[in-house]
Amino acid sequence: MMIRVLCAIAILALFTAATPAQGVSSPKAEAILAQTLEALGGKSYQSIHTLEEKGRAYSFRRDKLVGLAIIRIVTEYPAPEKAPAGAPAILEHQYYGEKEETSALTLYDRAFDITYRGYTPVDEETTARIREGRMHNFFYILRQRLPREKYIVEYIGTDIIRNQPVVGIRLVDPDFRVTELWVHRETKLPIRQEFTRRDPKTNLPIQEVTEWDKFRDVGGGIQWPLYVLRESRGQKTFEMFTSEVTVNPPVKAAVFELPNAAQKVSERKRKK
């Protein structure tokens, strides 16, 4: 186990040496990050190309339940060079309901709502929030960003979260985005991440929190959380209980394609 962790540290050192240094990382924090990568599956985790999750999702507004649905999420991690400049290199399609009559599609830095009537682009403010959330998401960072970008990794300290002993590190990307990550002190599996964004209207800080739990081996030694909780401004916004996870399933190209352009709802409304 120690040899594998040392190898993971060496791999991360190569990743962070790929670009000119922006600062000095803490060796202690880098070791924790390497152990977390190893705990999640190491190279097997970073070889994930597609992922399918099935379960139930709940949405909240002001901490009150406003929606629930059966959900299926199909994710693809394309080569980063395929993404538009500055956009997260991820494709995701969320299907809702037993018949999957509605869905939400994210294509790099664009987002769309889809129904049987057609599709509608999501407003720019929501799209920007989704895009920023992707860039801070630790699972995305570990899969797509750390192997290719220079991060500064800082040590925060220890704490107790949900009655679990945790240790915290701070990840700073080349654009100075800061993501705080808390992992279990023993297992090194991620428990919680935090980042702050600015309200586009008031410029006031908004704290975004994601928590994970119920990790399971989903194949090839890859550990994946079957529970996800998101909070914004200190209030619960999203909760998901996953019942099934498939790693690297075959995915048809049509999954990440919009319906026929003639079905664009906003354009059809203007023509009437």
Q: Which backbone phi and psi does 17 adopt, to 5 degrees?
A: -90, 0
What does the alpha-carbon distance between residue 19 and residue 16 come to, in Å, rounded to a whole number? 7
Look up tokens 């998101």; give the residue: 230
Residue 266 belongs to domain spanning = 2-271
Which residues, in sequence order, are CB contacts of 159 under 8 Å at separation 6+? 166, 167, 168, 182
The two three-digit tokens of residue 270, written as one number:
């203007």
The two three-digit tokens of residue 147, written as one number:
């192997």
Report the C-alpha dihedral over residues 243, 247, 253, 254, rounded to 10 degrees: 0
Reported in sequence order, the residue ranges of 116-204 that DSSP labels E, i.e. its strands, are 118-121, 152-161, 164-172, 178-184, 190-198
Q: Is the dihedral of CA 17, 20, 26, 29 positive or negative?
A: negative
Q: Is the dihedral of CA 21, 25, 31, 32 positive or negative?
A: negative
Q: What is the block-wise mean pLDDT of the chain (272 residues), using blocks of 10 residues?
A: 50 44 84 98 96 97 89 97 94 96 96 93 93 96 94 98 97 96 98 95 95 97 98 96 98 92 54 42
Helices (H) and strands (E) in the chain, counts: 5, 13
Q: Burial of 128 by CB count in 10 Å (0-12 exposed, 13-18 middle, 19+ buried)? A: middle
| Residue 260 pLDDT | 73
CB-CB contact of 94 with 256 (8 Å): no
| Residue 266 pLDDT | 58
| Residue 249 pLDDT | 98
| Residue 18 pLDDT | 40
What does the alpha-carbon distance between residue 94 and residue 230 come to, in Å, rounded to a whole number? 16
Q: Please report, for the domain that includes residue 35, its CATH number.
A: 2.50.20.10
CB-CB contact of 196 with 172 (8 Å): no
What does the alpha-carbon distance between residue 10 and residue 73 come to, in Å, rounded to a whole number? 33
Distances (CA, A) of 220 to 79, 201, 212, 224: 22, 45, 20, 11
Counted domains in the chain? 1
